[in-house]
Amino acid sequence: MARVLHNLLLFLIRLALKIRVLGYWSLIYGYCALCTIVALLKLWWNIILRPTTTFQWVIRETPPACLNDTSLGTHCYVRIKESGLRFHYVAAGERGKPLMLFLHGFPEFWFSWRYQLREFKSEFRVVAIDMRGYGESDLPLSAESYRFDYLVTDVKDIVEYLGYNRCCLVGHDWGGTIAWLFAIHYPEMVTKLIVLNCPHPSVFTDYALRHPSQLLKSSHFFFFQLPRFPELMLSINDFKALKALFTSRSTGIGRKGRWLTAEDLEAYLYALSQPGALTGALNYYRNVFSSLPLSQNHVRSPVLLLWGERDAFLEQEMAEACRLYIRNHFRLNIISGASHWLQQDQPDIVNTLIWTFLKEGEGRKSYRN
């Protein structure tokens, strides 16, 4: 009798797991379908309003002068033997000083760290990379090439190529996700971890599934699963959606900080208008659902998490929840009035908070700014 009950219990557990997995993927594909319908309606409305300009966009052929600003650093390239990919990065500060490595988010590139490159080069070898698929780095077109393990290995290979065995790692948005993962898998290589507006991946998964409001804010995750159509929607009307992302009142840079200049915006459009650039950027999303949940979660490095209070894409409650996965000193700063694009929106505050974290001892409590 006991054996029968045991087998029945195992069957029910397996059945519950299968139902949970089925529900998970049904939610994903159902939400993808809904986002597709909404996007098609937007496209149809654009065609009605702007029949002659909807499908017009310009590939920028000449980089704006700000991308060649020598005060930001030197443009360099490295080809990684194992992956065969060539990576572009901008570096400043003396060789041999501690390495501070910057990982950008979507849809950005090395330029998003311009204020930090100038600020920290006095005491660090600062390096801002174009992650695979972005900027002047190589652009694998296969979505499979953007699996989490490949992206984490890229960081490891670049750190080692630069002649270091550890670094202070700084990441924002998708760069923050890769920074979290790198610190989880290579704790000995991270002296300190600094993340801007990006929750721990396990926090994001758990929270989004329990909070419909966050699921709605993350609708782009589902829409971007589609092939080709998201690239079209981001390109129409000469990249109007990308311009709005950086400049609109609801999502843009500078609502209570520094405005994105016209030249800065052209820098982004130059990088993202190149052939294949949008596909490379979107492929980060096209592997995310098969990569979660994580098998390892704990971070053993000291962590600074900076969070813009008015992030239009991520709910603030996730920031404090990250504490659950950190086995070291954790400092959280929530910056009032700041947007998702924190290091560009409030660079002076961000830089000051990073300096404080780099120089402080252990055991301090997190605080609000």
What's the distance, CA 291 to chain centroid? 15
The strand pairing partners of 332, in sequence order, are 305
Active site residue ranges: 173, 285, 340
CA–CA separation, 81 and 4 (whole Å): 56
Nearest Cα to Cα of residue 338 among 325, 353, 327, 326:
353
The strand pairing partners of 303, in sequence order, are 193, 330
Helix (H, G, I), strand (E, B) or coil at 282: helix
Judging by beta carbons within 10 Å of its beta carbon (0-12, 13-18, 19+), is residue 166 exposed, middle or buried?
Answer: middle
Tokens for 259, please give them: 């405005």
Return the C-alpha torsion angle 334, 155, 272, 136, nearest 10.
140
Tokens for 271, please give them: 């990088």
Cβ-contact 176, 196 below 8 angstroms: yes
Q: In what order do the strands lie in the sheet with 74-79?
A: 74-79, 86-92, 125-129, 99-103, 167-172, 190-196, 303-308, 330-335
SS3 per-residue string spanning 287-344: HHHHHCCCCCCCECCCEEEEEECCCCCCCCHHHHHHHHHECCCEEEEEECCCCCCHHH
- CA distances for 7 relative to 3, 4, 16, 19, angstroms: 6, 5, 14, 18
How many C-beta atoms lie closer than 10 Å to residue 187's C-beta? 16
Tally of residues, the chain: 369
